[in-house]
Structure 1
Amino acid sequence: MTPKHEIDDDSYFVSKSQKKRDMDALQDLGKKLTELGSGSLKKVPMSDSLREALAEMARITSNGARARQLQYIGRLMRNEEVEPIHRALEAIAGKSNVEIAKMHRLERLRERFLEDESMLTEIGNLYPAADLHRMRQLRRNAIKERAENKPPKAYRELFQILREFEEVGARTEHPHHNSEDDGHHGRHHGGPADE
């Protein structure tokens, strides 16, 4: 039979190491908050004292002072409701991941279009308001820029147009309803980039 004092010692060490893990987790959470930009921080629910400490951290440049401030933020974290903070950070990270995935998808679409002009049909289906004549012209210019090692002006503009139409599509449940207005929006790109 196990002596009673051994059980108590075990539970003491478990609770002590658990407290250490909890403190480290709070410190890590505080560190994540210090890495956010001011716009993202506004979306995170927290006490005024923590918000002020994070604002102060952004102004500190000395490494020693930053380390002390981070410890202070870690102590403040003990009084915070961490669940809403976790949820806000997940939402910010999720939005960021969605944006990155969207950019990669548009970049792949642009590359496929440069390799194969028949992709214009797919672009027309995806973005009914797209000015296909303008897209074809930009494709020719982008290929010429690449061949002549010129700055990728048309190449970038292609991406901008695709991104604009993607955003219009995301804002309107049925993009066809606004296709006429959006068509004008697409046509304003016809300008000095035709070199």
Structure 2
Amino acid sequence: MSPAWCARAAQPYNCTSRNPGACGIACRRTLRDPQVTPDRPRDSADPGDDTGPSKSERKRAAHAAQGLGEALIRLRDAELDALGLPERVSDAIREARRITSRAAGARQRQYIGKLMRDLDLEPIRAALAARSEQHARETERFKRAEGWRERLLAEGAAALTELERWRPGLDREEWTRRIGAAQTERARSGGCGAAGRELFRALRALFDTMP
């Protein structure tokens, strides 16, 4: 007997007829899928079939593309131009910056995400990661210079001696002058003015040349 697919039962069954469908029950094997045979039932998977990404995978990809687009909106123009994005994408990103309406902004971000799905996102991710690392290094240098300025202003010569161990050969006389001027300025005004900024810039320059 030939196995068939019964539309009424919605499952395979052993047809008792040599002519499936003759009983009056529509058989999908005969009416809908002529490729299904006793040797190749409907539920057998073809190794060559490619069903593509699932709905959840497509949804995750869409969210990732939109998230990447939102990161691009926060870039400066020079950073955006350096990525070499298609004009329609960069124009959409610049337009998003000008939108003030919350709802319109959300629609624009979704549109950017849709455009991003047609691009190779890996180079963009790599560029953003490199930018993030550079920003982290700059932030660390800024905090280190700021911390050392406070130490030099508070501890004076003792802190300068420790700094000199890090950077042998620095002009101690010049650094003493800078520190003294910044200390006098803070004592007079309670904050950091020109002398304090000069000391900070000198520290930044010093740390930028250190390994």
* Fold match by TM threshold 0.5: yes
Given the alignment, which residue of 46, 66, 72 partners 1:33?
Answer: 72
Aligned to 2:28: none
CA RMSD of aligned residues (A): 3.0
Given the alignment, which residue of 95, 108, 113 partners 2:152?
Answer: 113
Aligned to 2:180: 140
- Residue segments in structure 1 that go unaligned for 5+ positions in a row: 174-195
Larger radius of gyration: 2
2:97 maps to a residue whose letter is A
TM-score by length of 1: 0.70
Aligned to 2:196: 155
Aligned to 1:44: 83
For 2:191 and 2:112, locate their aligned partners in 1 and report how far apart those are by CA, in whole Å. 46
1:120 maps to a residue whose letter is L
Deviation, 1:45, is: 4.0
The alignment partner of 1:148 has SS state of helix
For 1:108 and 1:84, locate their aligned partners in 2 and report how far apart those are by CA, in whole Å. 36
1:33 maps to a residue whose letter is L
1:121 maps to a residue whose letter is T
Seen in structure 2, the aligned counterparts of structure 1 residues 39 and 127 have a Cα distance that, compared at 3 Å, is farther
Aligned to 2:129: 90
Aligned to 2:21: none
TM-score by length of 2: 0.65
Structure 1 consecutive aligned stretches of length 4 or more whose deviation exceeds 6 Å:
none
For 2:116 and 2:170, locate their aligned partners in 1 and report how far apart those are by CA, in whole Å. 50
**Equivalenced residues, count:** 163
The alignment partner of 1:80 has SS state of coil
Deviation, 1:164, is: 2.3
For 1:21 and 1:41, locate their aligned partners in 2 and report how far apart those are by CA, in whole Å. 24
Counting aligned pairs with the same residue, the percent is 36
More helix per residue: 1 or 2? Answer: 1
* Larger RCO of the pair (alpha carbons < 8 Å, separation 6+): 1
For 2:173 and 2:81, locate their aligned partners in 1 and report how far apart those are by CA, in whole Å. 43
Aligned to 1:53: 92
- Residue segments in structure 2 that go unaligned for 5+ positions in a row: 1-10, 13-41, 46-50
1:119 maps to a residue whose letter is A
Deviation, 1:80, is: 0.8
For 1:119 and 1:39, locate their aligned partners in 2 and report how far apart those are by CA, in whole Å. 40
